[in-house]
Chain A
């Protein structure tokens, strides 16, 4: 089963961008997609998008279209999520998840705080 290790917490200014990494191990990187899900403090889960196996074209939730970019580097088995034009509403824990046909196995999460 895949294990996922995410990068550390970030503090960002409004209007800036953040890039969170997710390094996979324990399974063949090309055999599953990577999804990204966020959770604002005290709130529920919100799916942002995914990059499919074999790193074909990413699929994004409409809410984040134009503001999120999900990429992956096969050589290092690492996926990335970059979110731009940050506002205080983007303060959340960002999770990557191994995605086998939509069934998610979660990383530990990365806290992103947006504050002036």
Chain B
């Protein structure tokens, strides 16, 4: 199975700053079948990005995804207070689907 490793585990930033989250796969993710989800405490995850770089419906353009093969990045261009949450990457190019361990984005 494909193992996804996210870095860093925790990212401490201030509102207005730029956030860069990384997701590295143990083998190539076919056709960029890579998604990003946001999860807030007590809530279900929410789809942000699919196909490595396509924003889901209703997701602001401050969120962007990039990458291919084994290295992927989620960028939040300017942090809003509501963006502080845990972020997960997921590959769906091969079964089983797998998730990264998550990056916690916290307020500095």
Q: Which A residues form the contact surface with B (CB < 8 A)?
A: 1, 35, 44-47, 50, 59, 61-62, 95, 101-109
Whether A103 and B96, one on each chain, are in contact in the complex, defined by CB atoms closer than 8 angstroms, is no
Q: A106 CA to B100 CA in the complex, in Å? A: 17
Whether B90 and A104, one on each chain, are in contact in the complex, defined by CB atoms closer than 8 angstroms, is yes
Whether B50 and A103, one on each chain, are in contact in the complex, defined by CB atoms closer than 8 angstroms, is yes
Q: A106 CA to B37 CA in the complex, in Å? A: 10
Interface residue? B35 (CB, 8 A): yes
21 sample A-B contacts, Cβ–Cβ < 8 Å, listed by A number: A35-B97, A44-B99, A44-B100, A45-B88, A45-B99, A45-B102, A46-B99, A47-B98, A50-B97, A95-B44, A102-B35, A102-B90, A102-B92, A102-B93, A102-B97, A103-B47, A104-B47, A106-B45, A106-B46, A106-B47, A107-B44
Besides A1-B57, A101-B92, A103-B47, 16 new A-B residue pairs in contact (Cβ under 8 A), listed by A number: A44-B99, A44-B101, A45-B37, A45-B45, A46-B99, A47-B97, A62-B1, A95-B45, A101-B33, A102-B90, A102-B97, A104-B45, A104-B90, A106-B45, A108-B44, A109-B44
Question: Nearest Cβ in chain A — how far from B20, in angstroms?
Answer: 20
Whether A103 and B92, one on each chain, are in contact in the complex, defined by CB atoms closer than 8 angstroms, is yes
Provide the residues of chain A in CB contact with B47, threshold 8 Å: 103-106
Whether A44 and B35, one on each chain, are in contact in the complex, defined by CB atoms closer than 8 angstroms, is no
Q: Which of B50-108 contact A (CB under 8 A)?
A: 50, 57, 88, 90, 92-93, 95-102
Q: A12 CA to B100 CA in the complex, in Å? A: 29
Question: Nearest Cβ in chain A — how far from B34, in angstroms?
Answer: 10
Whether A59 and B95, one on each chain, are in contact in the complex, defined by CB atoms closer than 8 angstroms, is yes
Question: Nearest Cβ in chain B — how far from A12, in angstroms?
Answer: 22
Who on chain A is nearest to B6 by CB? Answer: A44
Contact (A44, B88) CB under 8 Å given A102-B33, A103-B47: yes
Q: A61 CA to B97 CA in the complex, in Å? A: 8
The residue from B44, B96, B100, B101 contacting A62, defined by CB atoms under 8 A apart = B96
Provide the residues of chain B in CB contact with A95, threshold 8 Å: 44-45
Provide the residues of chain B in CB contact with A101, threshold 8 Å: 33, 92
